[in-house]
Amino acid sequence: MKVLVPIKRVIDYNVKARVKADNSDVDLTNVKMAMNPFCEIAVEEAIRLKEAGSATEVIAVSIGDKACQEQLRTALALGADKAIHIETDAKLESLHVAKLLAKLVEQENPELVILGKQSIDADNNQTGQMLGALTKRGQGTFASKLVIEGENAVVTREVDGGLQTVSLPLPAIVTTDLRLNEPRYATLPNIMKAKRKPLDVVAADTLGVDLAPRVELVKVEEPAKREAGVVVESVEELVTKLKTEAKVIS
Amino acid sequence: MSVLVIAEHENGVLKPETAKVITAAIKIGGDIDVLVAGSNVAAAADSVAGIAGVSSVKLVDDANFEHQLAENTADLVVELAEDYSHILASASTTGKNILPRVAALLDKSQISEIVDVVDADTFKRPIYAGNAIATVKSLESQKVITVRASAFDAAGEQGPVSVESLSNGAANNLSSFVGVEQTESERPELTAAPVIISGGRGMQNGDNFALLNGVADKLGAAIGASRAAVDAGFVPNDMQVGQTGKIVAPDLYIAVGISGAIQHLAGMKDSKVIVAINKDPEAPIFQVADYGLVADLFDVLPELEQAL
């Protein structure tokens, strides 16, 4: 079974994003970048499938400018067999990404595509579902457990109110939730080895996908600041203030 | 202009998110039709018919939609989509699962988790874990949008409008339902509760979460948790409040033993009043708390229960 894992280069999750002074966007110059945490989980899951003998090949793919090859090398160091970089400087929306990935799915025909459920920058939570629609495959989103049973992927999903399990005939699309697994760290020998693994570069405009923007970013602002509050000395004072000042309890 | 809202329901009962999505639809303008798709959902459709602003209700009651699997439901929505300029759903796990599939089938870019409607094409939404608010304008002829329910008030009531039963779409067999494991709780649902008390890593273990029960009982509160508490296995993940869990905006949010990581704040910083109880005076949670109490939660919780 071939597994395709799309990954995204995003701002490191520990970094607090700052809005540019002209309100045009978030400032990403000289900011630490990393693999999106949900994508790390997707890579880990694919590698575990390979270690368990259900996957034969793991292909990592990333779409964006040259810098995202850094994250592809990370995926290779973690255990992916080969990487594909779809190169573009265009600002992409989830639909564009899904369409580019759909082209790749057509070429590579993986039985399983594992994506993160959302990127921590745009917070869209769309790409996996869109890829499911475009490739006419079933989708197991927000997965906290993935089991391959013969010709099916059995996916336990994190839904409001609990867990739901669905069975998807392969080929299928799965998106990862945080509790699916705990990603490993790349060891130095594996990082060295990853440098010799194949990394193909494909120009996005050779794939025949229209990348014209469909959503215009009008402006980006700081969220409304909360006023600094007060520190109370005792439980009694807290309850009194909640009753008389904030009036949120009676 | 006309808006199609996908109703949110569970076990045949309408969920409160729907009335909030309808408020967003009212801000967009035009007729508002609501699709109720599921199995044994006639009662939910009747509830929708009584929500102010709704023009008509379309009911598809069929076993194919019993668990609202994305594959079948998206095909159904696409069948109905032609007549609508806007298609809206709640940014719940159900809406997030279905709507991007609808958008791609319609070849439209989706806008996720809007918190405000500027005009019929322009919307505000948080990005970077709520550290920035983007204003985005859709250039699409048809807008596909999920709505952050906590950012809108619920629409009021009206004399019920008509409910139209539609014949169903077919099943496409791209997925099948296996089972569900629901978290049992007598408490109000997190996303709808007026008061929430949440525990974090400071609770130390799952058993200690019982200490929150007393206070929650007195306040009629729902109990939430930080990701740290969920990851440590103290409580199930559907209690998680945060960027990757539930987004809440209650009247009162009490954070107990929660440091206040970016990921947690993204899920609760729009609460009306925030109370932080933490023994570390440097914890970032105090920067957003209206009332902070620097003390050991194990001393405070019983005292608080007594005082209420």
Residue A250 lies in a domain: no
Domain check: are B210 and B116 in the same one?
no
- CATH code for the domain of B291: 3.40.50.1220
Do B22 and B130 fall within a single domain? yes
Among B114, B90, B110, smallest CA distance to B100 is for: B110
**B205: annotated binding-site residue?**
no
Tens digits of residue pLDDT in A138-181: 999 999 999 999 999 999 999 988 899 999 999 999 999 988 99
Per-residue pLDDT tens digits for A106-128 = 999 999 999 999 999 999 999 99
Partner residue opposite B112 with nearest CB, options A126, A137, A142:
A126
Question: Do B29 and B137 sit in the same domain of this protein?
Answer: yes
- Residue B226, marked binder: yes
In a domain, B173, yes or no: no
pLDDT at A247: 81
Query: Which residue pairs, CB below 8 angstroms and at least 24 apart, start in A34-37?
Result: A34/A9, A34/A10, A34/A71, A35/A7, A35/A8, A35/A9, A35/A10, A35/A71, A35/A74, A35/A75, A36/A7, A36/A8, A36/A9, A36/A10, A36/A116, A36/A119, A36/A120, A36/A121, A37/A13, A37/A116, A37/A120, A37/A178
> How far A50 CA sits from the closest chain B CA (Å)?
24
Task: Give the pLDDT of residue B37.
Answer: 96
Q: Are residues B122 and B211 in the same domain?
A: no
Give the Å distances, CA to CA, from A4 to A84, A108, A174.
10, 8, 10
- Chain A residues 17-36 within an 8 A CB cutoff of chain B: 17, 19, 26
Partners of A229 on chain B (C-beta within 8 Å) are 274, 286, 288-292
Residue B176: list chain A partners with CB under 8 A. 166-167
CB contact under 8 A, B174 and A133: no
Annotated ligand binding at B68? The verdict is no
Amino acid at B190: L
Same domain membership, residue B246 and residue B152: no
pLDDT at B169: 72
**pLDDT, mean of each 10-residue run, chain B (308 residues):** 96 94 98 97 97 97 93 96 97 97 98 98 96 97 96 95 87 92 85 93 95 94 95 90 91 96 92 96 95 96 93
Q: Is residue A29 part of a domain?
A: yes
- Domain total of chain B: 2
On whether residue B248 sits in a domain, the answer given is yes
Rounded mean pLDDT of A35-59?
97
Would B251 be classed as within a structural domain?
Answer: yes
Domain range for A93:
2-245
Residue B262, annotated as binding a ligand:
yes
The response to whether B240 counts as a known ligand-binding position is yes
B104-146 tens-digit pLDDT: 999 999 999 999 999 999 999 999 999 999 999 999 999 999 9
pTM of the model: 0.94
Please state the φ and ψ torsions of residue B104, each to the nearest 5 degrees: -65, -40
* % of chain A exceeding 70 in pLDDT: 100
Q: Which of A15, A28, A100, A123 to mutate to test the interface with B (most CBs of B within 10 A)?
A: A123
Query: What are the φ/ψ torsions at residue A123 (nearest 5 degrees)?
Result: 55, 35
Is A117 within the bounds of a domain?
A: yes
Contacts of A172 in chain B (CB under 8 A): 174-175
Q: Which of B133, B175, B304 is nearest residue A223 as measured by Cβ atoms?
A: B133
Task: Confirm whether B229 is domain-assigned.
Answer: yes
Give the Cα separation of B58 and A147 in Å (integer).
37
CB pair distance less than 8 Å for B97 and A139: yes
Do B11 and B151 lie in a common domain? yes
Report the run of H or E that residue A180 belongs to, with start and end: none
Domain count, chain A: 1
Q: Which residues does residue B22 pair with via DSSP β-bridges, in sequence order?
A: none
B72 and B136 share one domain: yes
**CB contact (8 A) between residue B275 and residue A129:** no
A226 touches chain B (CB under 8 A): yes
Within a domain: B171: no
Residue A245 has pLDDT above 90, yes or no: no
- Kindly give the residue spans of alpha helices, DSSP state H, lying in chain B: 17-28, 42-49, 70-81, 93-105, 211-219, 227-231, 262-268, 297-307
Classify residue B126: in a domain, yes or no.
yes
Residues B214 and B267 in one domain: yes
pLDDT number for residue A239 = 94
Work out the burial of residue B218: count CB atoms within 10 Å of its CB; fewer than 13 is exposed, 13-18 middle, 19 or more buried.
Answer: middle
Chain A residues touching residue B290 (CB < 8 angstroms): 226-227, 229-230, 246
Among B145, B165, B185, the domain boundary falls at: B165
Q: Is residue A131 part of a domain?
A: yes
Burial class (CB in 10 A: 0-12, 13-18, 19+), A113: buried
- B244/A118 CB distance under 8 A: yes
CA distance A186 to chain B (A): 22
- Residue A228 in any domain: the answer is yes
Contact A248 B251 (CB under 8 A): yes
Last residue of a domain, one of B125, B146, B165: B165
Of A126, A141, A158, the CB nearest to B237: A158
Whether the per-residue pLDDT at A225 is higher than 90: the answer is no
What amino acid occupies position B57?
V
**Do B141 and B263 sit in the same domain of this protein?**
no
User: Does residue A78 lie within any of the structural domains?
Assistant: yes
- CB-based burial, B10-43: b 16+ in 10 Å, e otherwise: beeebbebbbbbbbbbbebeebbbbbbbbeebee
Q: Can you give the residue range of the structural domain that contains B216?
A: 195-307
Q: What is the CATH number of the domain that holds A90?
A: 3.40.50.620
Please state, in angstroms and rounded to a whole number, the distance separating the CA atoms of residues A42 and A31.
Answer: 24
Complex-level ipTM: 0.95
In this structure, the answer to whether residues B160 and B207 fall within a common structural domain is no
Tokens of B126: 């948080």
